[in-house]
Amino acid sequence: MLNKFRRQSRLGAAECDAILAMPYRLANVDRGAYLVHEGDKIESCCLLLTGFAYRSKLAGSGARQILSIHLPGDLVDLQNSLLEEADHDVQALTDVRVALIPHQAVLDVSEAYPDVACALWRDTLVDGSIFREWLLNVGQRNARQRIAHLLCELALRQEAAGICERPYYQWPMTQEQIADATGLTAVHVNRTLQQMRADGLISMTKGSMQIHDMPALRRAGDFAEGYLHQRARPLPA
Amino acid sequence: MLNKFRRQSRLGAAECDAILAMPYRLANVDRGAYLVHEGDKIESCCLLLTGFAYRSKLAGSGARQILSIHLPGDLVDLQNSLLEEADHDVQALTDVRVALIPHQAVLDVSEAYPDVACALWRDTLVDGSIFREWLLNVGQRNARQRIAHLLCELALRQEAAGICERPYYQWPMTQEQIADATGLTAVHVNRTLQQMRADGLISMTKGSMQIHDMPALRRAGDFAEGYLHQRARPLPA
DNA sequence: CGAACTTTTGACAAGCATCAACACGTGTGG
DNA sequence: CCACACGTGTTGATGCTTGTCAAAAGTTCG
């Protein structure tokens, strides 16, 4: 049920059993609540079961940068299993259900099964690839491109996770959160979105988004999906 | 000689021997030349022995974002050992000397020694942490802060690597490269640097930089070094 | 029904980009 | 050895993209 997402790497039956055998604790977290605070020393990492979450960092000025968005199936703060303390926050974007897995369990399993270690390492590498693309997005593209790019990314990742029906996607972010993710202000995001709607690219209603013209949206967002490193579609278990 | 940098993780003698036993090929690369092209399928990763390198990505418009700077001792494109093809370029910032190590050797050693796998994974995690800070930098800080932050980072990393003598640092980047790293234009970088020099923070000459007032520079750059995850100074072997 | 968010609108300001030109140093070839 | 091209740094004029501030309209929810 909860490890379908790891089809990205080839894992044998023993590895899967070991993963499923890891101890965990279920938790529900309300929208907006923190899963991790910057500076915390954490003992477990969390697997998103339902709902969306995001990672963010604060500048000294108080400005917030959203670093990544996570959807069901994502292992959110793997990075803290080896680093001493969290270097950023993790918050629930919607009401969320998570499985908390002790780091020690993760390390034990990955020590026993090199293929698991490999899979986790790969996950971290893909994570890094997405950061690089975001850096390019925020550093070099204009407002319209940045937003379109974000929309494309979340659409494709929802498709890969099988949690949407084609032209309709879940849209958990407020305009202010889009602003923090793209390095813009909420006001400017609002105006840019209006323009995109006027151009017939998308339409949005509370909590959901419809993409009218995916090829055009990709062009508008200078979007090339390679950086997501999605392999062939998840094998139908 | 070339693995002092891995003191970050605790590795036993056997692990170190295994690392040193990995096959490699030495190469010299001229300033500006590519070590890796986006889209390449690569069979080896490179350890920087001398000189500086950087990773970058191009937007559709042709704009370039510099993603990270690497100095001697850095394992530059570890990420490609598990991913299919490179999602970005790697170029020499100065004339450079590298050791090319086949990916298969890296994978073999990390399979045989879980501690090595762990160390590499950790390296990847720190890499990711630096990307997150850069994203914050480019997304939320103004020109002066961005540049000061970059200066601080490279200064601290040079200190950690022991390749500088305190107020003097190596400075391999042109103003245009600073611009590409910070999401600004070369003209604006020029003006901002002039201001910083006028304020007595730094001075720069061909290839080197002097930091006159480190605390002030840190303040100017909103710099907090935690994200570098540097542990206690490398044990004096 | 009222409080708290979120989206929307307008007027205005500013940071940074753009374009173009020039200065300076370096290496190269005639 | 000089002329020259080339890369890099510098300067000025101008203006667009985006930010700021403020307030109103719409939405959600207890």
B8-40 pLDDT, tens digit per residue, is 666 778 888 888 889 999 999 999 999 998 888
206-235 in chain B: CB under 8 A from chain A:
222, 224, 226-227, 229
How distant is C1' of C25 from CA of B165, in Å? Answer: 27
- Strand C reaches within 7 A of the B143 CB: yes
Flag whether residue B82 sits within 8 Å of chain A, measured between CB atoms. yes
Is B135 close to A182, i.e. CB distance below 8 A? no
CB-nearest to B57 from A79, A125, A136 is A136
Distance of alpha carbon A72 from alpha carbon A74, whole angstroms = 6
Nearest to A182 by CA among A210, B219, A174: A174
Residues 6+ apart with CB under 8 A from A28: A95, A96, A97, A98
- Strand C reaches within 7 A of the A20 CB: no
Contacts 24+ apart (CB under 8 A), B197-201: B201/B148
Angle at A64 between CA A84 and CA A189, to 5 degrees: 145
Is A140 close to B111, i.e. CB distance below 8 A? no
Is B129 close to A85, i.e. CB distance below 8 A? no
Beta carbons of B146 and B56 less than 8 angstroms apart: no
Instruction: Note the pLDDT of residue B92.
Output: 96
Distance of alpha carbon A116 from alpha carbon A125, whole angstroms = 14
Flag whether residue A114 sits within 8 Å of chain B, measured between CB atoms. yes
How distant is C1' of D6 from CA of B32, in Å? Answer: 15
Q: Which nucleotides of D are covered by protein (CB under 7 A)?
A: 7-13, 17-22, 27-28
Token pair for B95 = 């004339």
Nearest to A217 by CA among A164, A154, A162, A152: A152
Instruction: Note the pLDDT of residue B237.
Output: 39
Dihedral through CA B225, CA B229, CA B230, CA B231, nearest 10?
130
CB-nearest to B229 from A63, A83, A139 is A83
Name which residue leads in pLDDT, A41 or A170: A170
Residues 6+ apart with CB under 8 A from B192: B143, B144, B147, B184
Beta carbons of B93 and B99 less than 8 angstroms apart: no
Nearest to A50 by CA among A91, A1, A3, A95: A95
Q: Which residues of A touch B55 (CB under 8 A)?
A: 132
The neighbouring-strand residues paired with A78 are none
pLDDT at A237 exceeding the cut of 50? no
Distance of alpha carbon A128 from alpha carbon B87, whole angstroms = 11
For A194, phi then psi, to 5°, come to -60, -45
pLDDT at A77 exceeding the cut of 70? yes
E strand or H helix at A101 = strand A96-102
As a whole-number percent, the residues of chain A with pLDDT over 90 amount to 66
Q: How far is CA B113 from CA A112, A225, B102, in A?
A: 11, 34, 17
User: What does the pLDDT average to over B73-85?
Assistant: 82
- Nearest nucleotide (C1') to the CA of residue B191? D10
| H runs (alpha helix) in chain A | 13-20, 103-112, 114-140, 143-161, 175-182, 186-198, 214-221
Is B131 close to A129, i.e. CB distance below 8 A? no
> How confident is the model over A135-185, as pLDDT tens digits?
999 999 999 999 999 999 999 999 998 899 989 999 999 999 999 999 999
Is B114 close to A114, i.e. CB distance below 8 A? yes
- pLDDT band, residue B2 (cuts 50/70/90): low
pLDDT at A47 exceeding the cut of 70? yes
Is B83 close to A129, i.e. CB distance below 8 A? yes
CB-nearest to B131 from A110, A132, A182 is A132
Whole-structure pTM value: 0.94
Is B136 close to A65, i.e. CB distance below 8 A? yes
Q: Which residues of A touch B222 (CB under 8 A)?
A: 59-61
CB-nearest to A128 from B57, B128, B139 is B128
Residues 6+ apart with CB under 8 A from B62: none
How many CB pairs below 8 A link A and B?
145
Q: How far is CA B151 from CA A16, A46, B59, B201, in A?
A: 46, 35, 25, 11
As a whole-number percent, the residues of chain B with pLDDT over 90 amount to 66
Token pair for A157 = 């990742």
Token pair for A150 = 């974000």
- Strand D reaches within 7 A of the A143 CB: yes
Name which residue leads in pLDDT, A42 or A190: A190
